[in-house]
Structure 1
Amino acid sequence: MKSYSDEEVKKLEEEVGGVLSDSYKRFLLSFDGTLPQKRFFVVGNGDSSRIHHFFGFECDDDGQRYQKFVGERYSVETLKLLPIADDPFGNYICLDISASKDGNGAIFFVEHESLNAEYINKIHLSGDFDSFIDALMSSDENDEYIKSAAPETWGDFDTQLEEMKRLRQLEISEKK
């Protein structure tokens, strides 16, 4: 992996017209889009998602990098939110890049369906990047979170899954 400099981060800040938080700059310079082991995060009451890509300077197989968002598809200038990652459904995890001291560095979840709408649906995830990273969960931790947040839904899911398995086995045995 290529090393990047503070100058390249400054150039990115100029391109997006905002300020990256110090903790995010350290992450970007150290890992440049590398995925952490823990990828799941809480989105809302009982909901969670997972990081699909962290965007960086280098392109990965899907071409995920910052230049994709500068002046394209996402109003970074208006919202002062820079997409730093996405989830498997195309929603964005964004960093507040406004110059305001109290807002700089906050992390938001933005649903992709609302990007072209009059109202942008953004959900506050964390006050800063380090706290967001610290709160990421493993797959097992995410399962436990979902079970505790919505036990009735999880129970229904287990019941439905068992019924689907039973029906599939019945279908296979009838074909024999």
Structure 2
Amino acid sequence: MSTSDDFVAITGGPGAGKSTLVEELHRQGFPCIPEAGRCILQDQIVIGGRARHERDSLLFAEIMLSWDMRSHHDATRRAGTVFFDRGIPDVVGYLLLLGRPIPAHVTAAARTFRYHQRVFLAPPWPEIYTHDRERTQDLDEAVRTHDAMAEAYTRHGYQLINLPRTDPESRAAFILRRLSPQPES
């Protein structure tokens, strides 16, 4: 059974290579949790639902929170390190991005459902940024999202580690080196 020390969150703005990195970690054999927001958007688009950034952002945030809490519970049944493509503090960051107050239950969730102390932050990366069916933000909003995520995780006591702008294999190796216990000197 995993504990929160085994749960590693990867965050940042959209289009910074997070999901590709998580896919690489999965390819290497690690259990991984997909990004709630993207999965929710895919479903909402198919059914014509309103839980989307541009239609009902607060409903979207509530569904992301529920999804992320369920994912956190599910991860406790896995052994070893589990990588998360975003985490519960990302909902706080999303609300900060919107300029909305953070409800007490969202703060309680971010305090209750914890991740490894080190959180990996993907910086904005204009050279790889693209739009797709779910990612409709422009680069400026992607940068503001990155900043909001950094603020959210910092508020909740996490140590942010900036990911290098490099290929997914090198990024995965970077993370694994920083998670390995360091020998005492």
Q: Could you tell me the TM-score, scaled by structure 2's length?
A: 0.30
Q: Larger % of strand: which? A: 1
Instruction: State the structure with bigger RCO (CA 8 A, min sep 6), 1 or 2.
Output: 2
Q: Larger % of helix: which? A: 2
> Which of the two has higher C-alpha Rg?
1
Q: Could you tell me the TM-score, scaled by structure 1's length?
A: 0.31
